[in-house]
Amino acid sequence: MGDNRVAFRGGRWAIYNIDRLTLSWIRKLDIQQAVDHRSKTDLEGYPGFGGGRPNPAEHFVSVMQGRIIDLNSSDTGFMHAALELAAQAEQAGEVPVGAIMVRNGTIVGRGYNCPISASDPTAHAEVMALRDAGRHLGNYRLADCTLYVTLEPCAMCMGAIFHARIARLVYGAADPKTGACGSVINLSAELRLNHHLQVTRGVLAEEGGYKLKQFFAKRREARTTNREEIDEN
């Protein structure tokens, strides 16, 4: 299918296939919903594909499956690097979340959760990776970069991602409490915002989720032990 690219222009999603020179406009549709086939009917009968060409809904889903759902061969490798940073966070007593910034196949920024040790409520893994990449590249705009993070970003981190103009976000485990890419709210699909990016979900989600579950289980066990010791005294 070639190098499919997605852009947001004039209030519509544009899917542009360089090889076939196909340009189709999709009005106000969440990419992930289309991929999940939940909004496929929204596109039925959409004009612009005549002469026996594919139905626009089917074309849209096939394009986005190739671009967003199917994992890039390098995604798992980069996510493993982010998981290594999450392990460093855990060793420091922080919630185990790690993030890396990639540009042209090279890691240009690294970060892991450190709000406790840094006494900084904004020191999430994503923010630390953004700061590191900005220093490395000498620019606060990171428009041609991909951010890999082991946990779905929160609203604060998504705001920072938007300001940095990140081109693509890849995350692992979903966050049902503070996730801002679909779990609680979906800022990545908010059409009124001035920046939009490609999102790949669930890369090594099981590994990242397991690490988080183990961390919080150990924390609860430690609290229970402390309470029992206090009661005995």
The catalytic site residues sit at 126
Ranges of H-type helices in 38-124: 56-64, 75-91, 115-118
Neighbours of 150 (CB within 10 A): 33
Q: Which amino acid is at 173?
A: A
Contacts of 147 (CB under 8 A, 6+ apart): 99, 100, 101, 102, 126, 129, 130, 161, 166, 168, 169, 170
| Neighbour count for residue 128 (Cβ, 10 Å) | 26
The one-letter code for the residue type at 48 is G
* Beta bridge pairs of residue 18: none
Q: Are 196 and 162 in contact (CB under 8 A)?
A: no
Q: Which residues contact 128 (CB under 8 A, 6 or more apart)?
A: 99, 110, 111, 112, 113, 114
Cβ contact 7:14 at 8 Å = yes
Q: How many residues does the chain have?
A: 233
